[in-house]
Chains A and B, each alone.
Chain A
Amino acid sequence: MNAAIEATTDAAFEPSARPSLGVIDLLLRDRAAILARIRAGTGVPALLRAMIGTIAVTMAIVGAALGSYRGGVQIVFAAIKLPLVLLGTAALSAPALSAIGAALGRRSRLRADITLVMTALAFGSLLLVACTPLIMLGREMDLEYHRMILATVAMFSIAGVAALRVIWRAVALEAAPGWRTALAGMCAVFALVGGQLSWALRPYLVRPRAPEAPFVRAVEGSLFDSISDELDSARGIYTRDSAPLPEAR
């Protein structure tokens, strides 16, 4: 039995014509085997390539599904932007796991940590793809815009927690000094960078009646400035005389 699993695992990492499909199957069925490979440093470059490809394709599908809420060019825009957000955030955040861990005495390896983060995100992305029918259902049912946003947030939250569990499991197995701090630090950096990058590249989900769908909005204050402004507004502190009105046509 073990030999059969080993053979399947080995086959998944073979640099053959279609390595990604075997790895994806393994990611869904036997994550422990993939984590063991990363820890041992076996076939890591092939695994990293497969995970990046998986994230790119799956998030493009999810983006297209979200974009279909408005339809038209927004399908393409969201399909391009969503993979960029996730891959960009991972590229900026994964080194923090290695760096914080190494500072506290963990035997960090940058490539292995990046592969681990990409593996976890690929798993989360696959879960999101599995939720795509729900997004399409919401669109078909003409689910109200704010409810659609809440449903999307719920799906992304579930996928995010599942991805975090993969990283947690892998890093906890090492039992290296400072692993909790390294993990918490990486999560904080991921949340901050991910929040800002997704904010910078918004919108993804656009109201069906919106006349135009911009690829990105003009550069303005950060997500955190926006939250700060919202908090001020909630307390009755306004920084402008009135809300902007649509231009007369």
Chain B
Amino acid sequence: MTVALEAPFPVPSRLAMTMAALGPIAIGGVLAMRGGTLTPIVAAPAIVFGVVAATAPALYIATAAAGHAPRLADAARAFGVALGAFGIALAGLILPAAFLAMSSVSATTTLVATTAGLAAAGYLGLRRLARELDIGATVVSVLVFVTWSAATAGIAGRLWWDLAAEVVS
């Protein structure tokens, strides 16, 4: 039997993934313009995709051990949808973040605007991931997900902050 899955976004999933790939590059570009170095353009997507790739297996293993594991294919699809959600959200936040950064002479504003844009998109991606994985069905799965989210956001946040602070300093 073939089950037609509802499209996760009002835009094609491929476009959402493209946005996920280009969004961090654009945010890195805003930071790069302020700092006068190209490093953030490469480093920003590397941080996003690198950290997710490094920590995603841990979530699968932990939820499986907690007895709340989706099938591997479903988990992979959930991560794809979450990354797409991250990309779409970031696409809507890049323009405001770029405007706030470019309209001020202060490097701190650039740092805060780009960080806030990435953080908001990351939060929305995590919320979408929780829904796709049906986190919330059990208390244990919620605990596992919150712990994993905190660790992932902490690693990515620290790497981004170190990069951004160095670029604007």
Chain A residues near B10: list those with CB within 8 A.
102, 106-109
A222 touches B88 (CB 8 A): no
With both chains docked as a complex, state the minimum distance between the C-beta of A187 and any C-beta of chain B, in angstroms.
12
Interface size for A (C-beta < 8 A) is 32
Q: In whole angstroms, how far apart are the Cα atoms of A93 and B85 in the complex?
A: 18
With both chains docked as a complex, state the minimum distance between the C-beta of A209 and any C-beta of chain B, in angstroms.
29
Q: In whole angstroms, how far apart are the Cα atoms of A157 and B91 in the complex?
A: 29
Chain-A contact segment, one of B60-68, B94-102, B144-152, B153-161: B94-102
B96 touches A100 (CB 8 A): no
Instruction: For A100, give its contact among B8, B92, B103, B105 (CB under 8 Å).
Output: B92
Main secondary structure of the interface of A (DSSP, over half): helix
Q: In whole angstroms, how far apart are the Cα atoms of A109 and B95 in the complex?
A: 18
User: Count the A-B residue pairs with Cβ separation under 8 angstroms: how many?
Assistant: 87
Chain B residues near A102: list those with CB within 8 A.
9-11, 85, 88-89
Chain A residues near B92: list those with CB within 8 A.
95-100
With both chains docked as a complex, state the minimum distance between the C-beta of A177 and any C-beta of chain B, in angstroms.
8
Q: In whole angstroms, how far apart are the Cα atoms of A109 and B103 in the complex?
A: 29
Q: In whole angstroms, how far apart are the Cα atoms of A52 and B70 in the complex?
A: 48
The reply on B104 being an interface residue by CB < 8 A is: yes
Contact with A along B113-149 (1 / 0, CB 8 A): 0000000110011011001000000000000000000
B128 touches A92 (CB 8 A): no
Chain-B contact segment, one of A64-72, A163-171, A188-196, A240-248: A188-196
Chain B residues near A220: list those with CB within 8 A.
105
Known contacts A99-B89, A193-B100, A196-B100, A222 near B106 by CB under 8 Å: yes
The reply on A178 being an interface residue by CB < 8 A is: yes
B124 touches A181 (CB 8 A): yes
Q: In whole angstroms, how far apart are the Cα atoms of A99 and B120 in the complex?
A: 11
